[in-house]
């Protein structure tokens, strides 16, 4: 800190000190005391003020130098707020508390960003291993005559994996990518089923649909949600029947498959959670239902999951922006 900057910061205090000295000297002069006494008092006051300024300047410069050293030693400057020395007065305490709040907020934001980056990296790494399976299968199919039906099935699996990672990457900017318009729920359901037909037929799954209503939503994101639920059925419930019902502003996707264990049910939408079924059958990234949950929150869709192990699993998607039945 330069002396000029320090004096400028004390300008108001020095003005009041100067006024106080003038008033005292004026009172002394009014009592009939000689000018020598007045000048002596003024000189003494000036010396005290100068001494106060000198000591305060040295202490302040020392504190600032210490802060500069701390800042220079830190690899992450936002951590400085956690190492600030204790305040010396009420005003400094207010600044101190504000800086602590800002620092902790920055630390939390950085930690969240770090965890998000690590999670994204882990998912990408896992996705790379997952995408190898259908690609390898395609190579084997082509090497053995190239059965078109099997080839389309494996290409659809690769396409689903690619779409999943794209939606995961878009979650941070979902508001920018979202296009809300009036759509027929039945039309979106039909599109989702047709897109997964190869996987559903291969898994021996029968799909039944019923009902319709019109809603304002992002049809592409909603279609992805339905496709993800159908992909889960194909993966975990081969040979089951899936009933998709659209009524009363909600879409219900229910199957009579293996169900979800009760201890896994509260966590199935957590990021990276594979659960008992995922670990048993393998090939699960634990990201599908997490992306579904995130998209539902952004589209203002209430997601409810019910299941009984060995009996059924039911997903209910209730819309808040229903336009007409």
Looking at residue 213, the DSSP 8-state letter turns out to be -
Evaluate if residue 210 carries a pLDDT over 50: yes
Mean confidence (pLDDT) of the chain: 83
Q: Which residues, including other chains, have CB under 8 Å from residue 6's CB and lie 6 or more apart? A: 53, 56, 57, 60, 61
User: Could you tell me which residue, 286 or 230, shows the higher pLDDT?
Assistant: 230
The pLDDT of residue 98 is above 80: no
What was the pLDDT predicted at 281? 64
pLDDT of residue 74: 67
pLDDT in tens, 304-314: 999 998 899 99
- Residues 93, 121: contact at Cβ < 8 Å? no
CB 234 within 8 A of CB 219: no
Do residues 233 and 289 touch, judged by C-beta distance below 8 A?
A: no
Q: Is 39 helix (H, G, I), strand (E, B) or coil?
A: helix
First to last CA, the chain: 71
Q: Please check whether residue 272 is in contact with residue 217, taking contact to mean a CB–CB distance below 8 angstroms.
A: no
| Interval 38-78: pLDDT, tens | 788 778 888 888 888 888 888 878 777 777 777 676 666 66
Predicted local distance difference test score (pLDDT) of residue 325: 44
Report the pLDDT averaged over residues 258-273.
87
Q: How confident is the model at residue 222 (pLDDT cuts 50, 70, 90)?
A: very high
CA proximity to 67, closest of 55, 80, 56: 80
Residue that is written with structure tokens 């009933």 in the block? 243
Exposure string of 100-117, with b = 16+ CB inside 10 Å and e = fewer, is eeebeebeeeeeeeeeee
Mean pLDDT, range 156-175, rounded to an integer:
81
Q: Which residue has the tokens 């990021």?
A: 271
pLDDT tens digits, one per residue of 177-188: 778 899 999 999
Q: What is the rounded average pLDDT of the residues 238-257?
A: 93
285 Cβ partners below 8 Å, 6+ apart?
123, 126, 127, 130, 164, 272, 274
**Phi, psi for residue 203 in degrees, rounded to 5:** -85, 0
**In this structure, what are the phi and psi dihedrals at residue 292, rounded to the nearest 5 degrees?**
-60, -45
Please, what's the largest Cα pairwise distance for the chain?
A: 122
Instruction: Say yes or no to pLDDT of 214 above 80.
Output: yes
pLDDT score of 209: 94
């Amino acid at each position: 800190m330069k002396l000029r900057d320090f004096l400028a910061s004390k300008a108001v205090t020095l003005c009041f000190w100067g006024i106080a000295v003038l008033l005292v000297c004026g009172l002394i002069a009014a009592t009939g005391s000689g000018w020598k006494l007045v000048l002596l008092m003024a000189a003494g006051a000036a010396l005290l003020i100068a001494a106060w300024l000198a000591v305060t300047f040295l202490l302040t410069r020392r504190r600032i130098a210490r802060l500069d050293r701390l800042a220079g030693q830190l690899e992450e400057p936002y951590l400085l707020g956690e190492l600030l020395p204790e305040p010396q007065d009420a005003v400094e305490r207010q600044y101190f508390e504000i800086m602590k709040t800002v620092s902790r907020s920055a630390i939390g934001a950085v930690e969240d960003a770090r965890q998000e980056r690590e999670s994204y990296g882990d998912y990408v790494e896992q996705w790379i291993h997952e995408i190898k399976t259908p690609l390898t299968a395609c190579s084997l199919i082509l090497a053995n005559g190239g059965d078109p039906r099997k080839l389309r099935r494996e290409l659809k699996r690769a396409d689903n994996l690619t779409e999943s990672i794209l939606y995961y990457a878009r979650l941070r900017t979902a508001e920018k990518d979202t296009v809300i318009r009036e759509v027929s729920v039945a039309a979106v359901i039909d599109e989702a089923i047709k897109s997964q037909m190869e996987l559903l037929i291969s898994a021996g799954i029968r799909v039944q649909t019923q009902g319709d209503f019109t809603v304002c939503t992002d049809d592409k994101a909603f279609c992805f949600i339905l496709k993800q639920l159908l992909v889960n059925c194909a993966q975990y419930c081969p040979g089951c029947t899936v009933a998709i019902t659209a009524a009363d502003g909600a879409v219900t996707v229910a199957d009579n498959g293996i169900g979800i264990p009760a201890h896994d049910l509260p966590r199935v939408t957590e990021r990276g959670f594979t659960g008992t079924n995922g670990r048993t059958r393998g090939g699960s990234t634990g990201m599908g239902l997490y992306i579904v949950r995130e998209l539902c929150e952004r589209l203002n869709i209430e997601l409810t999951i019910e299941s009984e192990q060995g009996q059924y699993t039911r997903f209910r998607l209730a819309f808040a922006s229903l336009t007409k039945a």
